[in-house]
Structures are given as structure tokens and as C-alpha cells.
Amino acid sequence: MHRLIALFALIAFASPTALIAEESLLAQVETVAPTVDGKVLEWRRYFHEHPELSNREFNTSKTIEEALRGMGMEVWTDIAHTGVVGILHGGKPGPVVAVRADIDALPVEEVNDLPFKSVARGEYRGADTGVMHACGHDTHIAIGLGTAAIFAELRDQVPGTIMFIFQPAEEGAPEGEEGGAYLMLKEGLFERMKPDAIYGLHVWSAGNAGEISYRSGPLMASADGFQIDIYGRQTHASRPWGGIDPIVTAAQVVMGLQTIASRQVNVTKAPSVVSVGRINGGIRGNIIPDHVEMLGTVRAFDPDMREDIKRRVEHTAKTIAESQGARAEIKWEFGYPVTINEPALTERSVTVLNRVVGAEHVSVSDLVTGAEDFSFFQQQVPGFYFFLGATPVGQDATTAPSNHSPMFFVDESTLPVGLKALAGLVADRLENP
């Protein structure tokens, strides 16, 4: 009897910290997350009001650095120009898990009427422009810092190490510069410390606030740009036989390129897109020029198909030009690889998402032809990337202004959901490697 009384007394007077230590790390995260929500909102509004363009995120990175140092973290700076990485060493041995948040804004002038509306200006391609977090990277920073704050609070209970990667230039480095995830890896980030898994999220207007969507395997497309120069021979337009018409040749090339996705590659394996977005040539209606420039993009969801399409674009352009007596030269600008969610990690992640936000709020995404440089990290380690809805509940998300629009709007009620989701995924991976 005396032992039983002593046991009840121990439970009655145990501290909350002692009791929470007996819970799983995921359960502890769910308890602590609501206490961080206010700070996440504050961070989001600050970064929204003070956006900076790619590779120019000087104040942004400094603010992130100060926040991480305030949490008692080891901090690495000046990675890929303005990248910041916070390292949290847990109180127990375990794996290394990474969280990635992109930090750059876009050359877009905001039109939303918000108390924290951006009025920032910047320079893009030599021109003065408005600057706005029109793709929601301000929310990614805030959720990333909020996740860091949760685990800083639970540091002694963390089994392993967490890398908080705040990555610049996801929207693309300025012309003539390198940046983004590619440059972080090129400069040796994962040689310095390589995670066992990496997680990331993206807010988007195509979903309602609080809704999460994902896809196992390919999620977002690779994105490559091409320039095709068609060289003919100039002549008077009244005597086309006196030269070689690069305009007609370019028109035939455009039509030929459309047969690649529709007739040449296996559409049952994965979809693809080959588009020409610009044709420029000639200065007068009565002069056939000697040169036409074409710019376009290729999107693919299979890495092998991506390479195959490249070969077919070159072959199609060159052979059509040769058939007309013209000449074609092709230049490539290789962009982001396919964003591929590792299937086993995805299956595990969905179980966690169903728990922390409710299965009714988690769904499978369609393939997305946009591109994301999170894919470079996924080429090195297993990764899971998901979408977080941003459009107010009750509003038709299919008609909401899209990401990159000057009217892009994030319903802030989605922030706590994103925080619980991201922190929950990290907790589960740490505790169950």
C-alpha cells in the first residue's frame, strides 16, 4: 500500500517536462507546435513585407541566421551566396534529417491590399521592378523556422541531427550567375553533412488552406530550355526561289516538334511537353531574312525520356532544316531535374500526414508540369515533397490567382497545418529511421 501511495504521489507531482519526455517525439511535436504558431505568423508577415530577389537575399538570410542562433543552433552561412543552414544536434544519437525552405522572391509588383504588403523594389535584367513573394517562399521560411523552434524546444528528446536548409535562388539565378540547390551541393553541402532523408513543402493556390496533396514517384517535371537558330539565305519576298526561307523552315520545325510528344515517345509511360514560346526573324514584310531564332521549353516526368526528347528535338530541327537547304543550330539550357518522391519514404510520410492533419485533408496530386530545384537534393538522398493549399476555404481554388501572380494570396490559416505536417514528418523519421 505504501508503494502504491508513493507511486500516485510521483505521478501527481511530476513536471510537464518529465511527462512529455515519456511520449513519442511525434506526440511531443503535436503538443509544442501550437505554442509556435504565433511566431510563425510573425515571421511570415515580416518576410512577406521585405522580399528580396534571387542571390540578393541579404537581409533575409541575415534575419534567418539571427533567428537560428537565437535558438542555440550551429549556423553555416554564405553557402551558394546567401544560403543559411542551421544544425540542431539532438540529445540522443540518431540519423540526420534535413528540412529545406526556399527564400527568394520574384520580380512582381504586389497588388493585394495587405497591412504587410510588399512595396520593395529591385533590379531585374537591368530594369527597376517591384518585388513580391508571389510564390509563397515567405511562408516556407516561416514554417521552416517554426519547425526549427519546435525541435529547439525539444532538443534533449531529439534522437539525431536536423539540418535546416534555407536555400536561395529557387526561382533561378540572375543571368551569368549560378545559384540555388545546385550551387549549394556543388559547394559541398552534403559532403559536409549528408542527411538520410530530406523534406520540403510548397504552398500553392490550386488547393484550399489546410489541404495537403502529394504524389509518389514523379511529382513535378524537369524543365529544359532550348534555342533553335535557323539559317537560310536572304532574298526579296517577291522572289523566294532566290534564297532559302528560314521562316517557312521554322514553321515546319514547330510542327515537327509537336510530333515528338504525340507520336514519338511512349505516352503510356509518362507525359511530356515540347513547346515553342518565341519566334523572331525578319524586319520587313517584303524581305525574307537569313535567320530566325526560336525559343522553347521541354517538360518531362521520366529522366530517360528527358534525354530521349533532347535527342529527338535536335534530330527533328536539323533534318527539317537540311531538307529545305537551311541549317539549324540548337543550344540547350538545362534546368531542374524531375522532382521524384522516393516511394518507400512517401508511403511512410502519408501515414504521418494522415495522423497530424487528418486523412480527409490529404490527397494524391496530379502531375505538375512546373519544376522545382528541390529535385537536386532528391538526386542525392531520398526526399519527400508535398503541396499545401493556400486559397481560403469556400473559395474555388481552380479560379484563384496562381503562384507568380501579383494577386497571389496565402490564407494564413494554412500555416499551422504546414507546421504540424513538416515537423511531424521530421519527428517520425528521426524516431523511426
Ordered by start, the domain boundaries in the chain are: 24-221+339-431, 222-334
Total count of residues recorded for the chain = 433
The three-class DSSP label of residue 135 is coil
Q: Distance between CA atoms of 347 and 218, rounded to whole angstroms?
A: 14
Can 412 be counted among the known catalytic residues? yes
The pLDDT, as a whole number, for residue 164 is: 99
Nearest by Cα to 146 from 255, 68, 57: 68
* Best CA proximity match to 155, nearest among 94, 214, 78: 94
Strand-pair category, 83-89 with 92-102: unpaired
Is 20's pLDDT higher than 90? Answer: no
Residue 6 pLDDT exceeds 90:
no
Beta bridge partners of 380: none
Does residue 194 sit in helix, strand or coil?
coil
363 falls in which pLDDT band (50, 70, 90)?
very high
Which listed residue (211, 372, 412, 431) is catalytic?
412
pLDDT at 433: 87
Name the pLDDT band for 54 (thresholds 50, 70, 90): very high
What confidence tens digit (pLDDT) does each residue in 227-255 have? 999 999 999 999 999 999 999 999 999 99
Residue among 182, 199, 214, 336 flagged as catalytic:
336
| The residue to which cell 511566431 is assigned | 39
Could you tell me whether strands 127-130 and 291-300 are parallel, antiparallel, or unpaired per DSSP bridges? unpaired
pLDDT tens, position by position, 266-286: 999 999 999 999 999 999 999
Cα separation, 37 vs 116, in Å, equals: 18
Within 13 Å of residue 82, how many CA atoms lie on the same side as its CB? 23
Q: Is the pLDDT of residue 428 over 70?
A: yes
Mean pLDDT of 294-310: 98
Helices (H) then strands (E): counts for the chain: 13, 18
Closest by CA position to 228, among listed 328, 308, 160: 328
Q: C-alpha distances in angstroms, 171 versus 124, 136, 167, 297?
A: 12, 12, 11, 16
Share of the chain above pLDDT 90, in %: 94
pLDDT at 15 over 70: no
222-334: CATH number = 3.30.70.360
So what's the architecture of 24-221+339-431 in CATH?
3-Layer(aba) Sandwich (3.40)
Alpha-carbon span 307 to 312, nearest angstrom? 9
- Chain centroid to Cα 374, Å, comes to 5
Identify whether 171 is a catalytic site residue.
no
Q: What is the mean pLDDT of residues 118-146?
A: 98
Q: Are strands 92-102 and 121-124 parallel, antiparallel or unpaired?
A: unpaired
> For 158-215, how does the pLDDT look when each residue is reduced to its tens digit (9 = 90+)?
999 999 999 999 999 999 999 999 999 999 999 999 999 999 999 999 999 999 999 9
pLDDT band at 31 (very low <50, low <70, confident <90, very high): very high
pLDDT of residue 21: 53
